[in-house]
Structure 1
Amino acid sequence: MMTPDLLHPHRTSANTHLPSRRNHAPLAMTAPALVIITAITLVPLALLVVASFTDFDVRSLFTGRFEPVGFAQYTALLADDEFLHSLATTFIFTAALVVGSMLIGMGVAQLMTHLGGLMRTLVSLALVLAWALPNVASSLVFAWMFQPGYGVVGWLLTRLRVFGDVTGVAWTADGRLAFVVIWLLVVWQAVPYIAITVYAAQTQLDHTALEAAAIDGAGPIRSYWMITVPMLAPQLTIIAILSVIWDFNVFNQIWLLTQGGPDGATSTLGVYAYRTAFIGFDIGKGAAISVVTAAILLALTGVYLKRLLANGEEL
Structure 2
Amino acid sequence: MTTRPRTGRAFAERRLPPVLLMAPAGLVLAAVTFVPLVVMVFMAFTDYDQRSLFTGEFSFVGVQQFADILTDGDFWAAFFRTIWFTAALVIGSIVIGVAISHLMTKLGGGMRTVVTVVLVFAWAMPNVAASLVWNWMFQPGYGVVNWLLTQLRVFGDMTATDWGANTGLAFTSIWLLVVWQAVPFIALTTYAAETQVGPEYIEAARLDGASEPRIYRTVTLPFLKPTILLVTILSVIWDFNVFNQIWLVSKGGPDGSTSTLGVFTYITAFVGLDLGTGAALALITALLLAAITSVYIRHLIRSGEDDL
Q: Same fold (TM over 0.5)?
A: yes
Aligned with residue 271 of structure 2, among 258, 279, 291: 279
Aligned with residue 126 of structure 1, among 112, 115, 118: 118
- Counterpart in 2 of 1:234? 226
Q: Which runs of structure 2 are paired with 1:67-106 in the superposition (5 Å)?
A: 67-106=59-98
Deviations 1:124-166 (A, max 9, x none): 0000000111111110111011111111111111111121211
- Counterpart in 2 of 1:181? 173
Determine whether 1:37 maps to 2:29. yes
Looking at structure 1, the residues matched to 171 and 208 of structure 2 have their Cα atoms a distance apart, in angstroms, of 44
Looking at structure 2, the residues matched to 16 and 289 of structure 1 have their Cα atoms a distance apart, in angstroms, of 48
Q: Which runs of structure 2 are paired with 1:17-28 in the superposition (5 Å)?
A: 17-28=9-20
Determine whether 1:217 maps to 2:217. no
- Counterpart in 2 of 1:167? 159
Where 2:304 maps in the other structure, the secondary structure is: coil
Deviation of 1:23 (Å): 1.6
- Counterpart in 2 of 1:3? none
What's the C-alpha RMSD, in Å, of the aligned pairs? Answer: 1.8
Deviation of 1:225 (Å): 2.1
AA in 1 matched with 2:100: V
Deviation of 1:14 (Å): 12
Q: Which runs of structure 2 are paired with 1:53-68 in the superposition (5 Å)?
A: 53-68=45-60
Deviation of 1:211 (Å): 1.9
AA in 2 matched with 1:85: A
- Counterpart in 2 of 1:5? none
Deviation of 1:16 (Å): 8.6
Identity of aligned residues (%): 54
Where 1:263 maps in the other structure, the secondary structure is: coil
Aligned with residue 308 of structure 1, among 273, 284, 300: 300
Deviation of 1:15 (Å): 9.4
Unaligned runs of 5+ in 1: 1-11
**TM-score after normalising by structure 2:** 0.94
- Counterpart in 2 of 1:115? 107
Looking at structure 2, the residues matched to 14 and 218 of structure 1 have their Cα atoms a distance apart, in angstroms, of 62
Looking at structure 2, the residues matched to 156 and 13 of structure 1 have their Cα atoms a distance apart, in angstroms, of 77
Structure 1 range deviating more: 164-173 or 181-190: 164-173
Q: How many residues align?
A: 303
Where 1:140 maps in the other structure, the secondary structure is: helix
Larger Rg: 1 or 2? 1
Deviation of 1:209 (Å): 2.5
**TM-score after normalising by structure 1:** 0.92
Deviation of 1:214 (Å): 1.8
Deviations 1:60-91 (A, max 9, x none): 11111111111111100111111111111111
Deviation of 1:222 (Å): 2.2
AA in 2 matched with 1:69: V
Structure 1 range deviating more: 157-166 or 145-154: 157-166
- Counterpart in 1 of 2:281? 289
- Counterpart in 2 of 1:195? 187
